[in-house]
Amino acid sequence: MATVAEVIVETLIAAGVRRIYGVVGDSLNGLTESLRKSGQIEWIGVRHEEVAAFAAGAEAHLTGRLAVCAGSCGPGNLHLINGLYDCHRSRVPVLAIAAQIPSAELGSSYFQETRPDILFKDCSHYCEPVSTPTQMPRLLEIAIRTAVDRRGVSVLSIPGDLALKDAPHAPPFVLDEAPPALCPSRAELARVVALLCAKGKRVTILAGAGCAGAHPELLEIAGALQAPIVHALRGKEHVEFNNPFDVGMTGLLGFSSGYYAIMDCEVLLMLGTDFPYRQFYPDHAQVVQIDVRAENLGRRGRLDLGLVGDVKTTLAALLPLLVDGRCEPDGRHLERARKHYQKARRELDELATGEPGKRAIHPQYLTRVVDGLAAADAVFTCDVGLPTLWAARYLTMNGLRRLVGSFSHGSMAGAMPQAIGAALALPGRQVVSLSGDGGFTMLLGDLLTIRHRKLPVKIVIYNNGALGFVELEMKAAGLLAFGTTLDNPDFAALARAIGIHGVRVEDPGELPGAVAAALAHPGPAVLDVVVNRQELALPPTIQRQQAQGFTLYALKAVLSGRGDEVLDLAKTNLWR
């Protein structure tokens, strides 16, 4: 007879789980002891449970397989919640095991008592307590299938004492992770063809993460329609590479070419994207959306035609109908968008320069150097805010490289924990964390996890001494920056103090050599790069309110004796 904990481990092994991320605790003793005796699933002990959830999410993102994290009762599993929100909104399959207080004490306001089955409801597809051994492993199997099939989080809450009780015998668990093909009806596809093939229509494609695995079909459709392809951030790694129709990204982090390719179109074809910013959608174009999730259709605005289907299968079925429909697209729209993209790309590249002897290192230059020296199959993780912006604009995807970030949940501090999951999931691949100084220090303790496990993660820190993106948002709103300054130590010296290779760079002339050395180092490395604090990250189009806000900020700064900020801003961004 096996215990509940032993059944959990056997079921996870059958589901292909390789490791569990977490922090040990007495309510997890049954699980961790079963893992120890089995020896087939590795326990990855971290310093903070939030890191466990972020790392599991990165593993699930990169492998497509179920990943698992665990937290002990009360505060232990509560620390998982932010990382689980990110996993759920990023739509990656993650199972969280939330240990619970002794079952006899439930409902008595016992020490560390919380209600995981309530707390995690909003960031999961399946969240249930296990109250008797006879529910296992059935509830676990439901949780696993739900997480895998619906691409999101499942949570099981299990009292520590229950994990040690005998469980009934169950047949071996079999998990089929292959997603089903989903395609609209022929009649629905015919309506799409009629709309897309209307004579002379200017069509633009907006492609997102749902285009993963559909690169050839995407290019064929774009060619048939002579349509420029704009990508959302989560679509960058799947869409951008080897793509003659690519005209950049849209949104606050995007390119002017991507913005205007959408604004100038007459038909917008949305493929596998739930891009949230409504101000970047066209007002007068017809909109067609194809998504595997029906709830996404029309969620962001007016929709002329919505179809439920996975992008790869749907485009494969749509292409011969487009050919039969004898589409006669106007190639001038694509040509204009391409020329605009070339100009926008050239202007962005002109900002990514470094002059030896200058103390201000432009973050664009740092990102461009990292991009040029990183491996062809490197895995990049990036913190939200400015590191995400520079990654979006300056990292080059090639079909082998991967990009992981908190692009839907927008949480600080994700890059380093996600790098831990990436390094464990894909050993042998180069993993580079593009970390903001604020994000890096928020979960700094797990730098010790990287050292302990000797993970060859390369952490590049954009050290501008500020919560930079928040500072920009304040200025754009006409406010003086407040509460954004960070009093940072020498991060390279800190890394060396705990036995990690650390280098600090303040001169642009030293940057290429330092980046090359850090990437070539056989173990973990921290590259602390002092970058310019006053770098403006301009959106693809400037709205009147933003221009007025910056003008108001400058006036307030001068009147309050902070005119040096305005001067530095002008020197950095206007006189280059």
- Which residues of 281-356 form beta strands (DSSP E)? 286-291, 305-308
Structure tokens at 170: 């169950």
Enter the DSSP assignment of 181. P
Q: Which of 51, 92, 384, 503 is catalytic?
A: 384
Phi and psi for 102 in degrees, rounded to 5? -55, 135
Residues 488/436, Cβ–Cβ less than 8 Å: no
Instruction: Compute the distance between CA of residue 226 and CA of residue 247 in angstroms, rounded to an integer.
Output: 13
Query: Which residue from 195, 187, 183, 186 is spatially nearest to 305, judged by alpha carbons?
Result: 195
CA torsion sign for 466, 467, 468, 472 is negative
CA torsion sign for 349, 350, 354, 359 is negative
Q: Is 112 a catalytic residue?
A: yes
Query: Which residue from 129, 99, 102, 103 is spatially nearest to 117, judged by alpha carbons?
Result: 129
Enter the DSSP assignment of 361. B
Instruction: Compute the distance between CA of residue 431 and CA of residue 418 in angstroms, rounded to an integer.
Output: 10
Structure tokens at 396: 């080059």
Helix (H, G, I), strand (E, B) or coil at 227: coil
Instruction: Compute the distance between CA of residue 273 and CA of residue 296 in angstroms, rounded to an integer.
Output: 8
Q: Report which residue type is found at 79.
A: H
Cis before 137? omega within 30: yes
Q: Is 111 a catalytic residue?
A: yes
Count of residues making up the chain: 576
Q: Which of 4, 6, 23, 49 is catalytic?
A: 49
DSSP H stretches of helix in 111-154: 116-119, 138-150
Residues 506/360, Cβ–Cβ less than 8 Å: no
Instruction: Compute the distance between CA of residue 267 and CA of residue 222 in angstroms, rounded to an integer.
Output: 13
Q: Is 384 a catalytic residue?
A: yes
Q: Report which residue type is found at 118.
A: I
DSSP H stretches of helix in 361-467: 363-373, 386-394, 415-425, 437-442, 447-452
Structure tokens at 107: 């409902």
* CB contact set of 570 (below 8 Å; sequence gap of 6+): none
> How crowded is the C-beta side of 223, counted as CA atoms within 13 Å?
11
Q: Which of 33, 112, 113, 220 is catalytic?
A: 112
Q: Is 49 a catalytic residue?
A: yes
Q: Which of 40, 42, 111, 355 is catalytic?
A: 111
Instruction: Compute the distance between CA of residue 57 and CA of residue 95 in angstroms, rounded to an integer.
Output: 10
Instruction: Compute the distance between CA of residue 466 and CA of residue 436 in angstroms, rounded to an integer.
Output: 9
The number of beta carbons lying within 10 Å of the beta carbon of residue 487 is 5
Q: Report which residue type is found at 353.
A: T
Q: Which of 469, 471, 530, 550 is catalytic?
A: 469
Enter the DSSP assignment of 513. H
Active site residues: 49, 111-112, 384, 469
